[in-house]
Amino acid sequence: MNSFNKNKLGFETRAIHVGQEPDPTTGAVMTPIYLTSTYVQESPGQHKGYEYSRTKNPTRYAYEQCLASLENGKYGFAFASGCSATTVALHLLSAGDEVIAGDDMYGGTFRLFDKVLSRHGIQFNYVDMTSVESVQRLISKKTKMIWLETPTNPTLKIFDIEKISALAKNTHILLAVDNTFMSPYFQRPLDLGADMVVHSTTKYINGHSDVVGGAIVTRSDELAERLGFLSNSLGPIASPMDSYLALRSLKTLSLRMKAHQQNAFSVVHFLKDHAKIEKVIYPGLESHPQFAIAKKQMHGFGGMISMYVKGGMPQAKKFLEKVRLFSLAESLGGVESLIGHPASMTHASIPIELRKKLGIDDNLIRLSVGIETDSDLIADLQQALEHI
C-alpha cells in the first residue's frame, strides 16, 4: 500500500488504510498504542522522526493523518477535547482581533469565547449567519476569523459555508467550521472553502461515548505550521489510548453515519405529526427553513433531531424522566441514543435572554439518535410521550 497515493481512494478505504501501515518492527496490522513519552536519539537531534510525545506520537500521528484525509485536508491535529481544539484554533489570533461567530453554538464554546478568550482581548460578535449580509455588515479591519457550527447546536440552523467562505476569502479572514454534527462523512467544509475544520471527536468521530477528544484539520501549509507550533506550545494533545480508540472508530464512521441517519428519518417521521409535539427540527425535512442549503452542502442529514414538546418545563421534564432506551445525558454522536434538555444541560452557560432569543426554550429537547433498532427507539419515545 506504500507505493500509491491513498488519498485518491474512496472514503471507506481511506478510513481503514490512511496513516495505518503495518508496524515496521513487528508487522502488526493494527496501529499499536505507543505508550511512550519519549524516544531514544542516536546522537543529539538524530532520531526516527519522534522526540517527545507532546510534539508527535506514532498512534496520534496515524489518527491525525487518517482524519485529515477524510476531511479532504492535508494536516490533522488531535487534542484532548473539542474545547481544547477550539482553544488552540483561537490562539491563532492576538489581543485586539475580532471574531464573527454564529449566534447558535455549543454552550461550552460560547462560554470559552465569552468568559475566557474575551478576557484576553479577543472580541466576539455573534450573528445569525442564515443572513450572509448580516455577516458581511460585521466585517471590520479587525476581523480575523469567522467561526461557525453548521448544523448549529442545538437548533440545527444551517449556514451556507460556500457563501460565507467567499466573504472570508475576499477579506483575508480565516473561516473555521465546527463540523462535529455532520462528521466528514456527511459534510466536508474544506471543499466548500473553509480554512479549518474543527471537531469535538467525542461525538461521531469516536462514536462510542468512551473518549473525550477534539481535532483540527487544514489544507494550508502555513496554518498547519502555526497550528503545530500552538499544539506543541499549549500542549493539550490527545493521548495515545484515545487516539487509538478514535482511529479504530474511524474505520466504521461511514457505516455508523448511514445508520444514524436512517434511524433519524424513522424517528422524525414518527414525531413530526405526533399530538404531543409542537415542532420537529431536522435538516432533512423539506420544511426546514434552510433545507435547500442543507441539500446543497451536505451529503446527508445526520442523526441529530431537535423538537419542542407541547407545554413547558414540567412536560419536558416528565417526558425526559420516562424514556428508557434513550439515556438522558449530555453529549451526542454515540452508537447509543441520547436525549438532552439544552436549556438546563448543554446550553445552561448561555444567558437566559440569549437562550430565549435563539429558541433554546424549556420545552426544547435534543435527540442524538443511535443505531439501535428503529422501532424500539420509536416505541420508547411513544411510551414516554404518553406521560405528558
By CB under 6 A, residue 108 contacts ligand P1T: yes
Find the binder of ligand P1T among 15, 18, 83, 216 (CB under 6 A).
83
The yes or no reply on residue 321 touching ligand P1T (CB under 6 A) is no
Binding piece for ligand P1T, criterion CB under 6 A, among 24-32, 53-61, 75-83, 219-227: 75-83
From candidates 278, 330, 376, 386, binder to ligand P1T by CB under 6 A: 330
Q: Where does this chain touch ligand P1T (CB under 6 A) — which range of 157-165, 220-228, 279-287, 327-335? A: 327-335
Residues 16/251, Cβ–Cβ less than 8 Å = yes
Report if residue 202 touches ligand P1T, rule: CB under 6 A: yes
**By C-beta, is 58 or 207 nearer to ligand P1T?**
207
Work out whether 153 is an interface residue with ligand P1T (CB under 6 A).
yes
226 is annotated as an active-site residue:
no
| Per-residue cell: 18 | 490512511
Q: Which is nearer to ligand P1T, 58 or 238 (CB)?
A: 238
Residue 173 φ/ψ, nearest 5 degrees: -100, 140
Rounded to 5°, angle at Cα 244 from 33 and 57:
60
Q: Which stretch binds ligand P1T (CB under 6 A): 159-167, 217-225, 263-271, 325-333?
A: 325-333
Residue in 106, 185, 204, 244 annotated catalytic: 106
- Residue count, binding to ligand P1T (CB under 6 A): 18
* Residues 156-175, interacting with ligand P1T (CB under 6 A): none
Q: Which of 7, 220, 331, 349 binds ligand P1T (CB under 6 A)?
A: 331
Which residue lies nearer to ligand P1T by CB, 14 or 237? 237
Smaller CB distance to ligand P1T: residue 20 or 264?
264
Question: Among 103, 104, 114, 178, which one carries the catalytic annotation?
Answer: 178
54 annotated active-site? yes
Q: Are strands 277-281 and 214-218 parallel, antiparallel or unpaired?
A: unpaired
Phi, then psi, of 177 in degrees rounded to 5: -120, 125
**Which residue number is nearest to ligand P1T in terms of Cβ?**
82
Set 60, 144, 157, 203: catalytic member: 203
Selected from 57, 200, 239, 261, the binder of ligand P1T by CB under 6 A is: 200
Does residue number 106 form part of the binding site for ligand P1T (CB under 6 A)? yes
The question of whether 104 is a catalytic residue gets the answer no
What does the CA dihedral 90, 91, 93, 97 come to, rounded to 10 degrees? 70
Contact call for residue 149 and ligand P1T (CB under 6 A): yes
71, 103, 104, 178: residue in contact with ligand P1T (rule CB under 6 A): 178
Amino acid at 203: K
d(CA 299, CA 257): 11
Cell numbers for 330: 449530555
Is 178 catalytic? The answer is: yes
Annotated active-site residue in 54, 251, 295, 317:
54
Window of 81-89, 124-132, 294-302, 312-320 that interacts with ligand P1T by CB under 6 A: 81-89
Exactly one of 57, 65, 165, 180 binds ligand P1T (CB under 6 A); which one? 180
Which parts of 207-226 interact with ligand P1T (CB under 6 A)? 212, 214
Instruction: Please list the active-site residues.
Output: 54, 106, 178, 203
Q: Rule CB under 6 A: which residues touch ligand P1T?
A: 81-83, 106, 108-109, 149, 153, 178, 180, 200, 202, 212, 214, 330-332, 346
